[in-house]
Structure 1
């Protein structure tokens, strides 16, 4: 900081003041700047010697400051002098936002959390590692956001947190205006006690919308908050925390366990559960009045069941990942579900009955090792509204519904690395009139497309790693697909030296991609001469390609 800063007596804005060592900038210079307003950060406060020099700053008289940050070096040792210094830096009660970082004292001075600070809306305490108890923040009637991070010395949060019942209007409802509360990286915290009778009666945290508790490994017990009223709840890496969200069923969570309840823009709720082990069921996960409509479960290897028919009956979206023991009952009607994603989960699932999902639009099934087929009774065929199906890495998957998949709204179908599958759905050209995108990869047993060919509205076709299918490419009927604009072919049969053959592709094709043709030596002039609409040609990993006929390549050529 420049010397003699205090001579700028009319200065109104000073965002950061760094206290120098020895003969450097003196904190006394701030005392001469009477007109400071807006935001002020004072850092390197460990350099203030003696601490009482801070009295000369006169922060208590600077009523135009609305944001104040006080910061020490991270290595500041515990010292009584730090408390004296912070006491001397008491700001004016009109302050709105306060941050205290790396404070080395064992307790905060009385002004931190004092009810006279009636305008304060935001407080952040960060890395104050020696502090052993929290200020009475509950009596700050205007407080909206409170973050407490890295206070490792705090073991118990209790009555002192809510404040003295004899002070001010906030006594009946501690934290009455608080919207966001965060506790993070508090390695010594063990208990969060119900702090007052008002809290037990629902009088505390009345307006709380977001609660975040991260990396508090010793915290156990419950939460003295009615969490069903929250818009967002995040509990992450708190292995001993038994939250009322799951009614004391999470006593054996892994170190990476996470529970998150998130408010979506539409006002719906999304619940995320991750790494919850040694628990077989999540019965009681939400009450009957829950607005829960999205559920995500990740890495819950011991989880077997969910209350599908009860509180979860209104779910619109379910995403389950790496929870192999979890069962998807086939005697339940998933009447509201619109999106379902299963990844490395539900190993007991052999048949997927589409008729149980009357509103399902998006289905993704990845690496469900025992899945054999999709089924739907004939009487339910016309009622399917599904628009996207993706099946990946299901080695035992062999068939679609017998007689074809009647899905008039289906726009995208992807079947990837299902090595036992021999046929796509029958009568695709009739039963899938809306299909726009088809992707087939790694289905080595598939030899041909269904009788009747592909749907006429198809505009994107991607085929890879299907040697047997590629052999019969002349019979694909692509030349009849007038809507096809994008065609990608990759990793096909060895020995193909020229491609594409004459008449293989429709003249309206716009994008052509050819990848991993190891023996390809030339592009067939006869195959290109009718592609008058071609705008983009991509070639990749065709190491032996030598000849490209004149006029074959449009201007945006990529190799």
Structure 2
């Protein structure tokens, strides 16, 4: 069946309709009792325009509206009567990638103001420079503010240069992805959203700095910043030290090559609670010793990845303690700064790291270079059950490999000089 017959429109008491939007008949707005309609694709022909949603005031739970580039302006968008749908809790507003010169995204989005009961909002493919006034701290006639919002997703909003959000007291999750023109978040962004627990920022090429006060997010548990190639600063910490207790459990910063440091106050706040840390592709990061010294105070860090951080080894001499006694999973890449001159220092650093977690480590990934013709002695850890070696220049595994009594899994990648595999006696448990 390519499309529902028009006779379905006579089912005036129909409440639930689970069918693809491309199969809906024209004038679906006649089903005024409808409560469930997962998706609506805006068409150009009469009967398929956005006004069909206007009479569907009983819609519940979630709705995705696609092809919003076919809506002309605010006046037409308001015909959807989104403000009069109190049972709508999840809303996805999606523009197609096609670039129409006549697009009027800002006006259209302004006319799609949802009811104050909305909990989750996704805006996808929007090309306006600014977000609507109903998401900002601006008067909006008699409408209630969106204080029930707990999650906002902004994806591929390529024209947006600044994100300014109203004080949303219940906002828990904010995802900002592929905003290529984004230059900044509003100055008091973090101070206005203390209850954020998840913050994810990805592929924002123009973003150079986060606003101040990231450490004021008293509920922050998951922080991910990835592929923001011009990000230089995480912002300044707040003035009031010690006001908040850290809650951060996950921290991932990846492929932010211009980022120079992680502020000390933030590190000291987060270190006691952090359990999962990835630092990857941070070629400019300088304050590694302070980071490691802070992590040594953590009783929860179980998973640590450090890749593409050239200054890790050169700064190792300033590290006071490599005490990582709770670490279970470690991934270290020394290839970005290896040379014959630094090989001894790298050997010492890797040994120090491994000795700092010798009683807890279970999984180890070690990436080197072809000229690195040794394995650190400190790999002889009784707790190690999983070992991955990549691009190590050894010709054979050392005899002490048999001391890895708990080892069950061994992966060898790009070890081109390796002449023979270990004997069954040497690695009997694998």
The TM-score, its normalising length taken from structure 2, stands at 0.71
Cα 1:157–1:103 shift into 2, 3 Å: same
Q: Which of 158, 183, 189 in structure 2 is aligned with 1:155?
A: 183
After TM superposition, give the deviation of residue 246 of structure 1 in Å. 8.2
**Which of these two proteins has the greater Rg computed from alpha carbons?**
1
Q: Which moved more, 1:340-349 or 1:207-216?
A: 340-349
Cα 1:439–1:414 shift into 2, 3 Å: farther
Does the alignment pair 1:132 with 2:152? no
Q: CA RMSD in A?
A: 4.1
Cα 1:11–1:181 shift into 2, 3 Å: same
Does the alignment pair 1:289 with 2:297? yes
Mapped contact 1:121–1:142 kept (Cα < 8 A): yes
Does the alignment pair 1:178 with 2:178? no
Cα 1:396–1:44 shift into 2, 3 Å: closer
Aligned pairs for 1:412-491 within 5 A: 438=425
Mapped contact 1:187–1:216 kept (Cα < 8 A): yes
More helix by share: 2
The runs of 5 or more residues in structure 2 that have no matched partner are 1-23, 138-143, 239-244
Q: Encode CA deviations 1:425-463: one digit per residue, 9 max, x unaligned.
A: xxxxxxxxxxxx6467xxxxxxxxxxxxxxxxx7x8x9x
Please give the alpha-carbon distance, in whole angstroms, between the structure 1 residues aligned to 2:45 and 2:410. 70
Correspondence for 2:226? 214
Cα 1:439–1:111 shift into 2, 3 Å: same
Please give the alpha-carbon distance, in whole angstroms, between the structure 2 residues aligned to 1:418 and 1:210. 41
* SS, match of residue 34 in structure 1: coil
Correspondence for 1:105? 128
Correspondence for 2:13? none
Please give the alpha-carbon distance, in whole angstroms, between the structure 2 residues aligned to 1:240 and 1:208. 24
Does the alignment pair 1:328 with 2:348? yes
Q: Which of 43, 60, 68 in structure 1 is aligned with 2:66?
A: 43
After TM superposition, give the deviation of residue 176 of structure 1 in Å. 2.1
Correspondence for 2:152? 123
More strand by share: 1
Mapped contact 2:250–2:274 kept (Cα < 8 A): no
Does the alignment pair 1:312 with 2:298? no
Correspondence for 1:273? 279
The runs of 5 or more residues in structure 1 that have no matched partner are 163-172, 249-260, 370-392, 425-436, 441-457, 463-559
After TM superposition, give the deviation of residue 69 of structure 1 in Å. 1.0
Cα 1:397–1:180 shift into 2, 3 Å: closer
Correspondence for 2:91? 68
Cα 1:111–1:79 shift into 2, 3 Å: farther
Higher relative contact order, chain-length normalized (CA < 8 Å, sep 6+): 2
Q: Encode CA deviations 1:403-424: one digit per residue, 9 max, x unaligned.
A: xx788x6676989986599x98
Correspondence for 1:81? 104
Please give the alpha-carbon distance, in whole angstroms, between the structure 2 residues aligned to 1:296 and 1:192. 23
Correspondence for 2:170? 142
The TM-score, its normalising length taken from structure 1, stands at 0.56
Cα 1:274–1:262 shift into 2, 3 Å: farther
Cα 1:127–1:366 shift into 2, 3 Å: closer
After TM superposition, give the deviation of residue 161 of structure 1 in Å. 2.8
Mapped contact 1:158–1:192 kept (Cα < 8 A): no
Please give the alpha-carbon distance, in whole angstroms, between the structure 2 residues aligned to 1:28 and 1:420. 71
Cα 1:300–1:29 shift into 2, 3 Å: closer
Cα 1:344–1:25 shift into 2, 3 Å: closer
After TM superposition, give the deviation of residue 37 of structure 1 in Å. 1.3
Cα 1:411–1:61 shift into 2, 3 Å: closer
After TM superposition, give the deviation of residue 284 of structure 1 in Å. 1.4
Q: Encode CA deviations 1:521-541: one digit per residue, 9 max, x unaligned.
A: xxxxxxxxxxxxxxxxxxxxx
Mapped contact 1:277–1:303 kept (Cα < 8 A): no
Correspondence for 2:27? 4
Mapped contact 1:212–1:235 kept (Cα < 8 A): yes
Cα 1:68–1:367 shift into 2, 3 Å: closer
Mapped contact 2:162–2:184 kept (Cα < 8 A): yes
Cα 1:302–1:177 shift into 2, 3 Å: closer
